[in-house]
Copies of this chain bind each other. A is one copy, B any other.
Amino acid sequence: MNLLLLEDSDFVAADRAIVRDRRLVHLHEVHQAQSGDSLRVGRIDGLMGQARLLRLEAAEAELQVRLDQPPPAKLPLTLLLALPRPKMLKRILQTVASMGVPRLVLLNSYRVEKSFWQTPFLHPAEIREQLILGLEQARDTQLPEVIIEKRFKPFVEDRLPQLASGSLGLVAHPGDHGACPRALAQPVTLAIGPEGGWIPYEVDKLAEAGLAPVQLGERILRVETAVTALLARLF
Binding site for B on A (CB under 8 A): 2, 72, 94-95, 98-100, 137-140, 182-183, 216-222, 225, 228-233
Cβ contacts under 8 Å, A98 to chain B:
219-222, 225
Contacting A137 at CB < 8 Å: which of B72, B94, B137, B221?
A: B221
Contacting A221 at CB < 8 Å: which of B138, B218, B225?
A: B138
Cβ contacts under 8 Å, A217 to chain B:
72
Contact between chains at B95 and A139 (CB < 8 Å): no
Distance in Å: Cβ of A175 to nearest Cβ of chain B:
14
Contacting A100 at CB < 8 Å: which of B95, B219, B228?
A: B219
Cβ contacts under 8 Å, A218 to chain B:
72, 139
Residue pairs across A and B with Cβ atoms less than 8 A apart, 17 shown, are A2-B220, A95-B225, A98-B225, A99-B219, A99-B229, A100-B219, A137-B220, A137-B221, A138-B220, A182-B182, A182-B183, A216-B232, A228-B228, A228-B229, A229-B229, A232-B232, A232-B233
Residue among A216, A222, A230 with most chain B CB within 10 A: A222
A86 to B138, CA, bound (A): 21
Distance in Å: Cβ of A85 to nearest Cβ of chain B:
13
A233 to B184, CA, bound (A): 12
Distance in Å: Cβ of A117 to nearest Cβ of chain B:
20
Closest Cβ neighbor of A139 among chain B residues: B220
Cβ contacts under 8 Å, A219 to chain B:
72, 98-100, 138-140
- Contacts A95-B225, A140-B219, A228-B229 given; 17 further ones with Cβ under 8 A? A2-B220, A72-B219, A95-B222, A98-B220, A98-B225, A99-B225, A100-B219, A137-B220, A137-B221, A139-B218, A139-B220, A182-B183, A228-B228, A228-B232, A229-B231, A230-B232, A233-B233
A198 to B218, CA, bound (A): 33
Cβ contacts under 8 Å, A95 to chain B:
222, 225
Cβ contacts under 8 Å, A221 to chain B:
98-99, 137-138
Cβ contacts under 8 Å, A229 to chain B:
99, 228-229, 231-232
A102 to B94, CA, bound (A): 28
Cβ contacts under 8 Å, A233 to chain B:
232-233
